[in-house]
Amino acid sequence: MNSDIDKLADVLGLSTYQRNVLKSNPDIYNLSRLIKRGSALYAPRNISSYKFINFLFGVFFGNHADLIGKNKMLVQNTRGIEFRARGFYSAPVGRQYRYYADDCGNIITRDDFIREISRE
């Protein structure tokens, strides 16, 4: 399994931190659905189909996923991560707040986020 992760990491150009996170938890992530946007790696978690209610939540509300940065975990075990133009993304934090970040994982304000994604 680790040799497959090494091949995948070489193809995607992952950093050593991202590679080590995938190697340490190979059964948690759905490796066939990894997406690299900017320097962040979108790693969806496997759906636990043995619990029917978790399966339905995954179908209707999206799967839990992690965003793994070059050298740190940006967002962990979260639904509703939205990617925008040029690698910008937002993720919900609690019920009322959203986390806005650029392609490197640096936190930015909502106004900066809207200005950057609307710019061509």
Of 61, 108, 105, which is closest to residue 80 (Cα–Cα)?
A: 61
Q: Does the structure show a pLDDT above 90 at 46? A: no
The predicted model gives 68-89 an average pLDDT of: 86
Between the CA of residue 88 and those of 77, 107, 119, what are the distances in Å? 19, 10, 12
Confidence of residue 109 (pLDDT cuts 50, 70, 90): very high
Q: Are 82 and 37 in contact (CB under 8 A)?
A: no
Q: Which of the pair, 84 or 17, is modelled with greater confidence?
A: 17
Give me the pLDDT at residue 49, please: 53
Q: Does the structure show a pLDDT above 70 at 88? A: yes
Lowest mean pLDDT among 25-34, 49-58, 68-77: 49-58
Mean pLDDT score of the chain, rounded to an integer? 85
